[in-house]
Amino acid sequence: MPVDPDTGMLRPFNDDEIDAMQIRTFGVRDMSHGTETRRIGENTMRKSFFVKWSERFNFVKLVCGDQKIYVDSGFTKLSRMIPDEIYGIHHPDFPEIVATRIDNMKGANGPGIDDEDGIVKYPDAQIDVFYEHVPYDLLSDDEVADEDGNEFLRYTHFGGSTGSAQNISVPGGAMRYWRGPGEGTAPPHGFQVPYGVSISRAEEEFTWHWVQLPYEAFKPGSNLYARIYGTVEGDLPFIGCVNSSPIFDRAVGTVVFAGVTAKLERAHSGQGRRWSLEYKFAYSAMGWNWLFFPDPSGVNGGWYNVNNKEYQEADVLDDHRSLTPGARDLNMLFSVAAV
């Protein structure tokens, strides 16, 4: 893969390197080059190329892209080479239909020759490239740098959601109701949450995917792994925490990180492995550290902040003070750097 020796970042193939691949279209005369589909949920394209045999694996990275971890001034960062704008993108008018895999690769344009190691060589390779409408955006490293390194802007996408009403039992005695600053001390301010009371809460459970991550990004001991699961030194895991800053266009304190499903896949380049992470979240518009006070008189009934010490919003919540273990900037779930 092409790497900038000064930074350790991936870089695009230059013109000389692309010329060395000797790329030619295949199947134009018989009209097999450029087979398309269009349907709801699936838009695809297949193209075929002749490429110099010794450059076939570089061509795979040219059209499908690549990823790696690098260190810049002590900070771990993610570098991506996105699919080439000529060979990796279906058409300028359809920038979301990009090369994602190689369906077939075989020798072409002459007989093969066995070398002394038993590896056959051909003059060219015929490579069949599959393009599909991906659900995420493609941004270069430079474009991400212009957005303060925000990796959430690329290779992440919404998975799906389920809405439901959940019946929860309140933690009687351990927590107290609190009114906010300037709201006075009328009941139930400072009252203990009663025992034996349950309430219904409207919730949305949804998933968000982060795909094509190098193995080093989420291996045990990595920054991201420690952030999610905590550390032996006692760092609080992000799992179970509520959001201390806005995320997914949802307000502070309304999103809890419920879990992650990690899938380790073999890389399309044939070298190394890649993670696909499915994050699971739950959303409650009233906030996760708020409970309803069922006032029999109806005068003071409503939703109140719940804490075992004092009124605390999620952006200043101390650990182990409320219904969730703590509050964290959940946007950091889309970063490979140390917190």
Other C-beta atoms within 10 Å of 262: how many?
14
**Cα angle: 299, vertex 302, 304; to 5 degrees:** 125
Mean pLDDT throughout 180-191? 95
Task: Report the candidate in 165, 162, 156 with the shortest Cα–Cα distance to residue 137.
Answer: 156
pLDDT per residue as tens digits for the range 115-171: 777 788 999 999 999 999 999 999 999 999 999 999 999 999 999 999 999 888 877
pLDDT for position 298: 84
| Residue 269 pLDDT grade (very low, low, confident, very high; cuts 50, 70, 90) | confident
Give the whole-angstrom CA distance, residue 284 versus residue 333.
20
**Phi then psi for 262, rounded to 5 degrees?**
-110, 130
Question: Residue 43 pLDDT more than 90?
Answer: yes
Give the whole-angstrom CA distance, residue 177 versus residue 311.
8
Which residues, in sequence order, are CB contacts of 167 under 8 Å at separation 6+? 198, 199, 200, 201
Give the whole-angstrom CA distance, residue 308 versus residue 317.
11
Task: Kindly state the tokens that stand for 58.
Answer: 């570089």
Question: Which helix H or strand E contains 59, and what residues bound it?
Answer: helix 56-64
Per DSSP, 84 falls in state P
Using DSSP, state whether 29 is helix, strand or coil.
coil
Give the whole-angstrom CA distance, residue 215 versus residue 275.
6
For the chain, give the percent of residues with pLDDT over 70: 100
Task: Report the candidate in 94, 96, 103 with the shortest Cα–Cα distance to residue 130.
Answer: 103
| Residue 251 pLDDT grade (very low, low, confident, very high; cuts 50, 70, 90) | very high
Question: Residue 339 pLDDT more than 80?
Answer: no
**Cα angle: 217, vertex 234, 311; to 5 degrees:** 105
Give the whole-angstrom CA distance, residue 129 versus residue 49.
8
| Residue 200 pLDDT grade (very low, low, confident, very high; cuts 50, 70, 90) | confident
pLDDT per residue as tens digits for the range 82-124: 999 999 998 889 999 999 999 999 999 998 888 777 788 999 9
Q: Which residue has the higher pLDDT, 1 or 303?
A: 303
| Residue 32 pLDDT grade (very low, low, confident, very high; cuts 50, 70, 90) | confident
For the chain, give the percent of residues with pLDDT over 90: 79
pLDDT for position 330: 98
| Residue 324 pLDDT grade (very low, low, confident, very high; cuts 50, 70, 90) | very high
Give the whole-angstrom CA distance, residue 293 versus residue 187.
10
